[in-house]
Amino acid sequence: MYSLRMRATASGRHISGAERIVRLEDIQSVVRALANRAVSHENGMSDRIEITIEEITSDIQSISALPITSVTTRDHGEAVKVATLALTHHMIPQQVARHAIDLIQQGGAPVGGCMRGAMVMNYESGVRIEPDHHRGVRATRMDMNQKTVEDLKKSLSTLRLGERVRVIKEALSLASKVAGIGTTAEVCISDNPSNHTGYVASEKIGFLRIPYLKEKRVSVGGRIFFVPPTIDLEKYIREIEQRAVIIDQINSIRVISPGEFTEEVRDTVEE
């Protein structure tokens, strides 16, 4: 199997990226698809496109996708409340959760704007610990096999989200891999102006889709991986970047209202 990575930039600014794991016979068609995506991205035209193809010589781990919960948030204020509550449910202090959501909306790079990878944050203190604040940490070497993509598409169709399958497949694959590597929780807002849906994900809460977490139609977004203060950062980053993972099974999928979500979280706290 081969790891394929695409990265498109304009004057060094991140435009788009993608990660796949494919068989030798599929390399050509996937390279073409990734190149097409890079030259027709809504974040603009890039002046540099890199596609890296690397044989994977290590084991490839098969894992299940996180269960999906889609919350029916109707505006940005409601979305921020749900995301904050989801993060505090992981013992992340409220001010750290708020700061994290604000930071993603400003862009995590030191000059503002998008990073290529994710910020890594001590979940207790809110301090960023990734070595490079411009680049962040990029999760690579994850994908979902075709049969599972079909299953996902069928499940999403029942929620009238079938059209969103590619975006959700990519986010769900990344989140499922990252959750299994000792990440307390992840929060993400897309950098695509047309995609206002963000998510919070973890093994504890699953993949919580939150419409309207992006406030405006802007090309700024980002990801934060919250980790415990005791994390072995070098090992963590190595696993995020190097461990090869294929999602070979989907999990449950459901829709809940923000009120139901609040009740559910409160019930687990009181248990």
Q: Is 17 in the site for ligand AMP (CB under 6 A)?
A: yes
Token code pair at residue 172: 């769900």
User: Which residues from 142-201 bind ligand AMP, rule CB under 6 A?
Assistant: 171, 174, 188, 190-192
Instruction: Report the residue from 4, 223, 243, 244 that binds ligand AMP according to the rule CB under 6 A.
Output: 223
CA proximity to 31, closest of 44, 43, 22, 40: 22
Q: Is 83 in the site for ligand AMP (CB under 6 A)?
A: no
Draw the binding track, 53-82, toward ligand AMP (x: CB under 6 A; -: no contact). Answer: ------------------------------
Q: What percent of the chain is helix, strand and coil (3-state, nearest 5)?
A: 35, 30, 35
Using CB under 6 A, which of the segments 30-38, 84-92, 204-212, 219-227 binds ligand AMP?
A: 219-227
In angstroms and rounded to an integer, the radius of gyration of the C-alpha atoms of the chain is: 18
CB 120 within 8 A of CB 229: no
The whole-angstrom separation of Cα 51 and Cα 179 is 26
Q: Is 96 in the site for ligand AMP (CB under 6 A)?
A: no
The whole-angstrom separation of Cα 77 and Cα 270 is 26
Using CB under 6 A, which of the segments 21-29, 31-39, 110-118, 255-263 binds ligand AMP?
A: 110-118
Residue type, 105: Q
Q: Is 138 in the site for ligand AMP (CB under 6 A)?
A: yes
For residue 163, CA distances in Å to 70, 93, 103 come to 15, 36, 29
Start-to-end CA distance of the chain, whole Å, equals 45
Please say which residue, 63 or 265, places its beta carbon nearer to ligand AMP.
63
Q: How many residues bind ligand AMP (CB under 6 A)?
A: 19
- Minimum gap (Å) between residue 51 Cβ and ligand AMP: 15
The single-letter DSSP state of residue 214 is S
- Minimum gap (Å) between residue 13 Cβ and ligand AMP: 10
Binding site for ligand AMP (CB under 6 A): 14, 17, 19, 114-115, 117-118, 136, 138-139, 171, 174, 188, 190-192, 221-223
